[in-house]
Structure 1
Amino acid sequence: MSAPGISLAQQAGGALGRVGEILAKPIPLGQLFSIPIELHASFFIVLGLQLLTSIPQGGWAVLLWSLVLGPMLLATVLIHELGHCLAARQVGAHVSGILLWPLGGLAFIGQTPSPKADAWVALAGPLTHIPQVLVWLLLLLPVYHADTGSWAVKLYVPYPEAAHFLHALFACGVIINISLFAFNLLVPAYPLDGGRLLVDGLLWAGVAPRRTAWITICVAVPLGLGVMVYGFYPHFQMVTIMVAGFILFATFQLFQALRADALPRHPLFAAAYNSGGAAAGATGGAGAGGHEGPYFKFDSVVVDSAGVGVGAAGAPPAQHQLPPH
């Protein structure tokens, strides 16, 4: 029975609002290296949906696979984010924390002191995948030999039934980390790590910030459109389309900052202006304040029935900001 004077629609709206408030609150997971780590509540919704769809796709083996793979992906992303955070501390930047959510990870990092320092922070995340690949490969070798009788490993993910479950899991760990390493470094589209390295390299070489911004835009737009096309063809891939959308959105924000002569306040270029280097002096730009925001990256990996695909999102859930630690 509804409350007097309150319609069912209003009650439903209030209930949905309370659910939204619950989902908007991240779950503290503790700290690593004194860095607060939080998990967005929507992760459990996505995991639940994946579990519900896994049994019709392949039975209990796929259900168990989903239960194990989710935490493994989160751990991979967390290590990547820790790489960024520890490198940021090394160069003197403030680190507020890390947020994990279904489509990736966010490291909240303050302004780095120079483009050279920012390049090291950008590179540190992908570099964490090298030791991770080695660990997963060492785990895979004896299992692969037991399955095939050979020590010459060929990377593939078998069906995760009981007889090949560990083989599938360890091979997936290797492939995920190789894919993330390559995707983050070899696609020079902002806000990917490769895009940040492109900007930092140009600024470090003395290219003026405005010219660097135009180069970044001209590189990111066709790459973003290409990723968008790939998301629709040959198979519809929602996560890939989200990746493309975020690349284009971040590039549009950079274009707006360029048109408004606000590059000194953009997180990509604030260090160049504040460091007082040749690039900053060439434009006569004013120094920016100590801006701190999420260090956007595409760090999530999505595994579906089509195989292993790299996807992600660097956009944080709305209205969330980690407090300083």
Structure 2
Amino acid sequence: MWGEIPLGKPFGIELRLHVLFFVTLVLAAISQAWVSAYAVAWAVVLAGPVLLVTIYLHELGHCLASKMVGADVHYILLWPLGGLAFVGHSSSPGRDLFVAVMGPLMHLPQLAVWVAILALSAHVVHYPWHSSLHLPDIRSHFWLAVCVGAAWLNISLMIFNLLLPAYPLDGGRILVDLLLLCRVPVKPAAVVTVALAICVAVLLIVWGFVETAILTIAVGAWMLYTTWELVMCIKNGTIEAHPMFCYEGATSQPRSAAPPRSVAPEVMLPAHQPRSAAV
């Protein structure tokens, strides 16, 4: 696909970087340009190598979980709004729930590593630990500021993706899987998913305009765009064919009246839809 740069196959999974990812660096630099050169450097480090590694490990969690449940793994794409893990369709809501959760949970070990590095670094430079979770002066404690920023980046992305029940974020997939596991029929589950996704997307766009956060606006717009696909599936009566709902036994009618149906064939489904560190 246009603009995708191959970065090898770490852990046997192809990794690609989209050239538009560098837009994130430009926006990060602009956001701190009025502060100082040190602030610009700090923002670029966080939005560059730190964010890349953070997103990659998140998507790697999805991919490794997919392999564990027997689904095919195709590749990982890092792009301006975050990351996409292209994996095969899971065979049940329970397995898909496992795949969806493993991405956000990858932020826990990353957070532990950054906090450990922060504690050690603060001890070396005699920076008081009780206040080191707050952003220190970037000019005098640049590395500590990077550690603090990386720690909060992992916290925010984990909360955003795990607890925000909005499609196409991980939280939206988790919501769908839980609804299906609770034997909620497909169409009502899809309607709930669409309603929540639209509300969250609109709030993100409004927040983005208030805070002048371009990436936040872009994430909200992307959520509306992808949610429209679900809206059309519901309208056309094809929601059961959508990868998030096409499990054996899933139906728009109550489960007790549902005839058995086969699982849909292998599809290319992003295990984790775009999200941005700017949100």
Same fold (TM over 0.5): yes
Aligned partner letter, 2:115: L
Consecutive unaligned residues in structure 2, runs of 5 or more: none
In 2: Cα distance, 1:198 partner to 1:88 partner: 18
In 1: Cα distance, 2:11 partner to 2:134 partner: 35
Q: Where does residue 111 of structure 2 map in the other structure? A: 133
Higher mean alpha-carbon deviation, 246-255 vs 289-298, is at: 289-298
Higher mean alpha-carbon deviation, 150-159 vs 69-78, is at: 150-159
Q: Secondary structure at the match of 1:99?
A: strand
Could you state the TM-score of these two structures normalised by the residue count of structure 1? 0.77
Specify whether residues 284 and 238 from structure 1 end up closer, same or farther in structure 2 by C-alpha distance, changes over 3 A only.
farther
In 1: Cα distance, 2:217 partner to 2:31 partner: 21
Aligned partner letter, 1:183: F
Aligned partner letter, 1:193: D
* Deviation sequence 1:2-49 (CA, Å, 0-9, x none): xxxxxxxxxxxxxxxxxxx9xx23111111221000111223354356
Q: Secondary structure at the match of 1:301?
A: coil
In 1: Cα distance, 2:260 partner to 2:224 partner: 26
* Deviation sequence 1:142-180 (CA, Å, 0-9, x none): 33345665332452223422x201110100111000001
Q: Where does residue 204 of structure 1 map in the other structure? A: 181
* 8 Å CA contact 1:208, 1:280 repeated in 2: yes
Could you state the TM-score of these two structures normalised by the residue count of structure 2? 0.88
Specify whether residues 266 and 68 from structure 1 end up closer, same or farther in structure 2 by C-alpha distance, changes over 3 A only.
same
Q: Where does residue 319 of structure 1 map in the other structure? A: none
Higher mean alpha-carbon deviation, 187-196 vs 35-44, is at: 35-44
User: What aligned pairs does 1:105-144 form with structure 2 within 5 A after superposition?
Assistant: 105-144=83-122
Specify whether residues 203 and 125 from structure 1 end up closer, same or farther in structure 2 by C-alpha distance, changes over 3 A only.
same
User: What aligned pairs does 1:20-59 form with structure 2 within 5 A after superposition?
Assistant: 24-47=2-25, 57-59=35-37
In 2: Cα distance, 1:27 partner to 1:256 partner: 33
Higher mean alpha-carbon deviation, 114-123 vs 47-56, is at: 47-56
* Deviation sequence 1:56-81 (CA, Å, 0-9, x none): 6412x234324532111000000000
Specify whether residues 48 and 242 from structure 1 end up closer, same or farther in structure 2 by C-alpha distance, changes over 3 A only.
closer
Q: Where does residue 236 of structure 1 map in the other structure? A: 212
Q: Secondary structure at the match of 2:6?
A: strand
How high is the sequence identity, in percent, across the aligned residues?
40
Q: Where does residue 104 of structure 1 map in the other structure? A: 82
- RMSD across aligned C-alpha pairs, in angstroms? 2.5
Higher mean alpha-carbon deviation, 133-142 vs 260-269, is at: 260-269
Instruction: Verify: 1:276 aligned to 2:249, yes or no.
Output: yes
Out of 165, 177, 192, the residue aligned to residue 154 of structure 2 is 177
Instruction: Verify: 1:221 aligned to 2:198, yes or no.
Output: yes
- CA apart distance, 1:52: 7.4
* 8 Å CA contact 2:73, 2:88 repeated in 1: yes
In 2: Cα distance, 1:298 partner to 1:231 partner: 16
* Deviation sequence 1:248-295 (CA, Å, 0-9, x none): 22222111101111123212112x2xx336877755585433222333
Q: Which has the higher Rg, Structure 1 or Structure 2? A: 1
User: What aligned pairs does 1:58-73 form with structure 2 within 5 A after superposition?
Assistant: 58-59=36-37, 61-69=38-46, 70-73=48-51
Q: Where does residue 164 of structure 1 map in the other structure? A: 141
Aligned partner letter, 1:185: L
Out of 73, 86, 93, the residue aligned to residue 71 of structure 2 is 93
In 2: Cα distance, 1:174 partner to 1:149 partner: 17
Consecutive unaligned residues in structure 1, runs of 5 or more: 1-20, 303-309, 311-325
In 1: Cα distance, 2:27 partner to 2:155 partner: 27
Q: Where does residue 243 of structure 2 map in the other structure? A: 267
In 2: Cα distance, 1:284 partner to 1:124 partner: 32
- CA apart distance, 1:129: 0.4
Instruction: Verify: 1:294 aligned to 2:275, yes or no.
Output: no
Aligned partner letter, 1:133: L
In 2: Cα distance, 1:40 partner to 1:123 partner: 25
Higher mean alpha-carbon deviation, 71-80 vs 100-109, is at: 100-109
Q: Secondary structure at the match of 2:138?
A: coil
Q: Where does residue 316 of structure 1 map in the other structure? A: none
* 8 Å CA contact 2:249, 2:258 repeated in 1: no
- CA apart distance, 1:236: 2.1
> How many residues in Structure 1 have an aligned counterpart in Structure 2?
275
* 8 Å CA contact 1:188, 1:197 repeated in 2: yes
